[in-house]
Chain A
Amino acid sequence: MTMLRQRSRREMEVHRFHPLVLILVPLVAIFFQAYLPLRFPSIEILNLPALIVIYFAVSRRSPIAGTLVGLIVGIIQDAVTHLPLGINGIIDCILGYLAASIGVRIDVDNPGTRLIMNFAFILLASILHVLILRRLLGMHELWLGLHEVVRATVNALIGVVLFTLLDRFRQRE
């Protein structure tokens, strides 16, 4: 009973971050996302900004904060491409909202949970991407099933490592 209560309290913990961390970490993620494919083209399969949105959303456990973090990161991510602004904005908003909502309910500090959660969210991001491009923009975006599963798996694995690193920056209340 005591254990359950402790765990329940831990689940409800809201982690805070230094403002610099909140600003710099997404920017560094977007920078690496834009720069690293020059040297290692296969890194394009990563979606570091989305992983950062998920991490901050589950840590803050506030759906509105998650939505706004997703909005800002997504718009910046779009600004580096030549596609219309808002594609990644919409996707990251939804990811941030859902991640924060889930973060209230389950233990998101467990690596196994993080792995499954990241896999599901990155797969959802791919689905939303295809839907937005096809339905809203009328582009002939193909659904590459196996490729998207591989993408989700790789991102889930990287996400577990990344989240462990980012845990060092959080400040408990």
Chain B
Amino acid sequence: MESFLSRYRNPLVLLIVVLAQMLGLAVQVRRPASGKDNHQTRLIRYWVVSLISPFERAFLFTGHSTAHVWDGYLDLRHVRAENQHLQAELNRMRLEQALLAESARQDLRLQKLLGFQQQYISKTVAAHVIGTSGTDLSRVLYINKGSKDGIRTDMPVITPDGVVGKIRDVFPHTAQVLEINDQTSGLGIILTRTRLRGILRGTTAGQAEIVNILPDERIQPGDEVVTSGGDNIYPRGLVVGRVERIVPDPDQNPYVALVVKPAANLSELDEILVITQTQQTMPSTMQQDVDASEQKAADVLAQRLPGANLTPELGPDGKPLNVSMPPALVKPPAPLHPDRFTPGATPPADDLTPDASYQKQIFAPQTSAATAAPSISASKTARSGSASKAAPSGSASKTAPASSQPAQQPRPAQQSHSPSLSKIGPAHPAHAPAPQSNPPQEPQN
């Protein structure tokens, strides 16, 4: 026995060490469903990360200091031209933001009506990437912020370009980020054009794929992919990437997989943002930015379009003359076929009375006027509750069908001065007719 052990000592040692590690692997694979490491494993990782991360931080600091000196003091050529270019771009972006602000507000109102809870990013922590796993089979990154900076597991990690991944493990001064193209990661996504939902997973080759998708002709390469918010980790609407190509799924035959090109450059990340807090209302800073953007956009537009007099002219008494034309930038286009949902089409309910005889008195002499006047005003009155009973709307609509003569339809701004409407009752303040001295103007596009 002794001779056997001495003779096969080397392979026996190898066998024991390998078997011990296999047992260790088996124990780790049976870790809880939460995906977290057990205590012993975490301890080893903690020691190793604590050993290596100071050197990574030192290298990062040295590199950034050198780059700062070079970029901030030495390499300043073309800065003025670049500054002008950026100013121009900033002005353009302000205009775009102002145009989008109204849509966003309307979206908010609709979301409130539907009881939809949107998650807004309210707080982020910026961090530098200081290391990787060193192997292409484990797509993880290490950042220079940890639990002492408020980082917790499962927090989303993004860049201005798109989603990077989520926090997998947190140490006091370091955290591990699991990238979206790792084979163990997954996030809920939605295709913005087709509104198809799916799950994005990483592959062993480092690609990101949307799996378990039935073949659909509507899906095209180039479709944008955003987070769906269904995984309770990533807020809804973050850009993930674009569909690069559609490939058959070899494991599940009828299904296809969509290979996604991540919007964030995952192979060359330097600075990232960790979303540490979200909220269900638009953050005050974002609201202020939108408001400021609208004001500044007005200035920019005034500079670009000198003819667009956005500042109201003041009368001798100091009051603006053109009260009917607020200096609003964004005006919805005039509808071709206005209906009862069109702003200003329906008078306030307080001004409507159920007395049919009274309505008849009002509408009876107006029939000819309504016929001569725009058909829309007639159809508006016809659509509004009691007015439809009082007035023979059929005559008006037959006389001038809205769909048959779109060219003759006046714009809604003119409709507010239709005698028929003015007689129904005082209009809503928002759509009040302008004083006679200031006739309404056409919206300037």
Contact = CB atoms under 8 A, between A and B. Distances in A.
A71 B44 CA distance: 13
Contact of A79 (B24, B29, B48): B48
Contacts of B29: 84, 136-138
A142 B142 CA distance: 26
Nearest to A28: B55
A97 B10 contact: yes
B294 interface: no
A12 B298 CA distance: 85
Contacts of B10: 63-64, 67, 97, 101
A94 B133 CA distance: 22
Contact of B134 (A80, A87, A140, A141): A80
Given A37-B134, A81-B138, A94 B48 contact: no
Interface stretch (A2-10, A38-46, A115-123, A154-162): A38-46
A36 to B, nearest CB: 8
Interface residues of A, number: 45
Contacts of A31: 52, 55-56
A75 B22 CA distance: 12
Contacts of B136: 44-45
B328 to A, nearest CB: 49
A172 interface: no
Nearest to A84: B28
B24 A86 contact: yes
Given A87-B25, A94-B18, A144 B205 contact: yes
Contacts of A141: 137, 204
Interface string A19-62: 00000000100110111011001001100000000000000000
B51 A27 contact: yes
B243 to A, nearest CB: 22
A34 B205 CA distance: 18
B404 interface: no
Contacts of B134: 30, 33-34, 37, 44, 77, 80-81
B268 interface: yes
A76 B59 CA distance: 20
Interface stretch (B176-184, B318-326, B329-337, B351-359): B176-184
B132 A38 contact: yes
Given A31-B55, A64-B10, A84-B28, A71 B17 contact: yes
Given A85-B24, A87-B25, A137-B29, A97 B135 contact: no
Interface in B147-186: 168-169, 176, 178, 182-184
A129 interface: yes
A83 interface: yes
Q: Is the interface of A mostly helix, strand, loop or mixed?
A: helix
A37 B41 contact: no
Given A31-B55, A140-B204, A141-B204, A82 B138 contact: yes
Given A82-B169, A84-B25, A90 B18 contact: yes
Given A67-B17, A90-B21, A82 B28 contact: no
Contact of B21 (A27, A35, A89): A89
A144 B138 CA distance: 16
A61 B132 CA distance: 32
Contact of A34 (B17, B41, B131): B131
Contacts of A138: 29
A34 B132 contact: yes
Contacts of A144: 205
A37 B129 CA distance: 11
A137 B205 contact: no
B14 interface: yes
Given A31-B55, A64-B10, A80 B133 contact: yes
B115 to A, nearest CB: 38
Contacts of B129: 38
B148 to A, nearest CB: 21
B20 to A, nearest CB: 9
Interface string B10-49: 1101100110011011101100000000000100110111
A76 B48 contact: yes
A85 B140 contact: no
B21 A140 contact: no
B14 A94 contact: yes
A129 B137 contact: yes
A93 interface: yes
B176 A82 contact: yes
Given A38-B129, A90-B25, 20 more contacts: A31-B52, A33-B134, A34-B131, A35-B59, A37-B134, A38-B270, A41-B267, A44-B134, A44-B136, A67-B13, A77-B135, A80-B49, A81-B138, A82-B140, A82-B182, A83-B137, A84-B29, A85-B44, A93-B18, A94-B18
9 contacts: A38-B270, A63-B11, A63-B13, A81-B133, A81-B134, A81-B137, A84-B25, A85-B44, A86-B24
